[in-house]
A and B are shown apart, each in its own frame.
Chain A
Amino acid sequence: MLRKESGQALIEFVLVLPVITLLWGGIYFFGKCYLAKQRIEVAVRYGTWLSRTGVGSEQVSEKIRGMFCRNMPELDESGIVEIDTTTPDVDNYYRATDCRVEIRYRLNSVGVLTTVLPDICISEECRMAGDPWYYGMPGSVSNFRKYYGKQ
C-alpha cells in the first residue's frame, strides 16, 4: 500500500509537469517579449533623434542595426523586418516637417512554445519635430495660404 501511494504521487507529478513547464516557458517568453518591446522603444527614439539632427535615412537604419548588434545582445538583429523612416504625406502644416522612425520586429517563439504560440510582431513608432530652421517648412506664402485656406 505504501509503495502504491508513493508511485501515485510520482504519476500525479508527471501529469502536472507539462503544465508547469508550459507556464514556466510562458514566463520566459512573455518576459522576453516585453524586453524586446522596451529595447525597440529605446531604439526608435534613438533613430528619430538621429533623423532630427540631419542624418539620412540609410544611415539611420545602419545605426539602429549597429545598436542592436552592439548594445542589445539578447535580441537578434536579423529579427528586424523593416525600419521605416518615411514621413507620411500629411495635410497638416504643423506635422509636415516631423521626423518619424518605425521599427517592425519579428520575435520567434522558442522551444515547445512554437506549437502553441505564433511568432510575435512588435511594431514601435516615434516622431518629433525636425529642423529648427525654416527651410524645412513648406514655408512659402502660397503654402501658408493653402494650409490655412483663407486670406
Chain B
Amino acid sequence: MNPTMLITQKERSALLQNQRGLAWLLAYAGILSAFALLLISNQELSLLDNAQVVYMMAGTVTAAGALIAVIIGADAYAGERERGTLVPLLTGPISTSELLMGKSLGLASAWGIMYLLSLPYLWSVGASGQNLGQAIIYLGLFGTPVVLGFGYLAMALSARSGSVMSSLLSSLIVLLFSTSPLLIGPGLRNSAIGKALDAVNPFSGALNTYDAVIIDSDPFNAQLGRLALVVIWLGLMFVFARISARRPAFR
C-alpha cells in the first residue's frame, strides 16, 4: 500500500475506529439534533418556511464541518510533534507531499461522513418543502471547498507553529470571523464594509448561495461567482498548507 493511503487509513481509524474518535461524531450529531428539536419545540421557529429551515440547517452543517476540520487540521502536524511521532514520519519513506495528501484524505473522509450524516437531518426538516435536492447538492458543492479550506489553513498553521494550541486558536479566530454573517444582522451586512467582507469571505459565499438556491430558487449560473470564490479559497489554503508542510516545525 502506498504511503499516502497508509496515512489516510491511520487518520481514518483515529477518527472512526476508536472511542475518542467516535465522540466527535456524537458531538456533531448532537448539534444537528439540538437544532432540529429546537424547531419543533419553539412555536415561532416551527412556523418558518421549510426552505428557510433547510437553509439554516445547511449553514449549521457547514459551520460545524469547518469547526471540526480546524480541529483535525490543527492536530495534523503539531499533534504528531507533541506525541513524538513527527520526526519518525519525516524520516520514514514518505515525502512531505505524500504526508500532506494522506492527512488531506483523512480530513476529506471526516467531512464525507459529516455530510452523509447531515442528509437525514436535511430530509427530516425539509422533505415537504422546496429545493431539498438542490440543498443537498449545493451543500456538497460549496460546503466541501469551504470546510476543506479551513482544514488546510489549520494544517498550515499546525506545521508552522508546531503547537496544537497555537494553531487551533489562530484557526478558530479566522473561522469565527468568517462565520460572523451567521451572528450579525442583515443591516450590518448591507453596509459598504459588510458587502466588501461578504465578497471575499468563503463562508458568506456558501451561505449566500444556499439562500439564493434554496429560498429564492436561483439557477446555477447565478452562483458561478461565489463558486469561484470558494474554489479560490480552497486553492490558496492548499498552497499555503503545501508550502508550510515542506518544512514543518519539529523541534
Verify that A and B bind, or say they do not. no
Binding site for B on A (CB under 8 A): none
| Chain B residues at the A interface, C-beta cutoff of 8 Å | none
